Amino acid sequence: MNTAAAGFLALISIDEIYESIDDFYTSINDFYTSINDFYVSINEFAASINDFPSSIDELPFSWNHTK
């Protein structure tokens, strides 16, 4: 194998290494994005609990049979 062919194959393998590193970082980024989405959903759930009526007087009329 001549030097040019060996150099070309080395460049191809280096490019594949960079692609695999890029794929690895992309998968880490996707993982952190999914964790962030999970925390956002927890935060939205907590906000919906805070919006829940704090007393029976705040419930809609059909739910409140004490009046």
pLDDT tens by residue, the chain, 67 residues: 577 777 777 777 888 889 999 999 999 999 999 999 999 999 988 888 777 766 666 666 665 555 5
Cα(43)–Cα(19) distance, integer angstroms: 36
Cα(48)–Cα(6) distance, integer angstroms: 63
pLDDT at 22: 94
pLDDT at 21: 92
pLDDT at 24: 95
**Domain-wise residue ranges, the chain:** 10-42
Cα(24)–Cα(20) distance, integer angstroms: 6
Cα(38)–Cα(43) distance, integer angstroms: 9
Cα(15)–Cα(25) distance, integer angstroms: 15
pTM above 0.95, yes or no: no
CA distances from 38 to 15, 61, 65 (A): 34, 35, 38
